[in-house]
Amino acid sequence: MTYTSVNDSAWLTHEMVFAAIHEPNHVEAAATLRDYATEAERVDATGLAKDLRRMADEREEAAASLRAAMMTAVTGMTPEEPTINPANVAPELRVAMTRAMTDASFSSLEVVTPGQLVVGDIVSAHGMVLLVTDMPERTNHPGGRTFVTRAIVLNREAVSADVIPFGWTRGDPKRGPAYRHESTDEHYWTLQGNDLAGVARLPR
């Protein structure tokens, strides 16, 4: 593949394209390739733009496949199953999921409503990286249709207690703040809201 249509007046260089193609992080690479495709279109390099968008699509698909494979390999589950037992989420999977979210650019995240979340989704809230463990349940609320679900906090140690006090996450929201897991020291967060609420989710 050659890039003769990238002219000297554009800020997009051959070296930048090469670096983006070989970026090891799929999510970051996809976001960068899409930015470069937009720049290529600006200078009428339509062939290059098409190639860059195709490669961005391929990297996004690879990221989704990798995430699903990690979950299946470590937990024995596939995404969208009814629930996840936090005890089955191995430390290496927690690290991988946290890294995937923290490495993602904001523009690469999806904004969905709480009712659109599914088991296995990785979301961000108040600096926390969360793994959704239960399917959303509809609740009766005067403000209209509202959904609530539970997630475990994957990076509790990285979030200051001044921002999110430990007491806010230490209890199991399904059994009350006084409940403590007998076998683990899990921290939980409740995700809830109506169709106007937004949650930042790592693309599935």
pLDDT in tens, 80-117: 556 778 877 888 888 888 888 888 887 888 898 888 88
At 134, the amino acid letter reads D
Looking at the chain, the whole-number percentage of residues with pLDDT higher than 70 is: 76
Greatest distance between any 2 Cα atoms in the chain: 65
- Model confidence at 124, pLDDT cuts 50, 70, 90, reads very high
Query: How far is it, in rounded angstroms, from Cα 176 to Cα 62?
Result: 39
Query: How far is it, in rounded angstroms, from Cα 49 to Cα 17?
Result: 11
Tokens found for residue 46:
């339509």
Q: Is the pLDDT of residue 129 over 80?
A: yes
Report the run of H or E that residue 35 belongs to, with start and end. helix 26-42
pLDDT digits (tens, 9 = 90+) for 137-194: 877 666 557 888 889 999 999 999 899 988 888 765 555 444 444 445 789 999 988 8
Looking at the chain, the whole-number percentage of residues with pLDDT higher than 90 is: 13
- Model confidence at 8, pLDDT cuts 50, 70, 90, reads very low
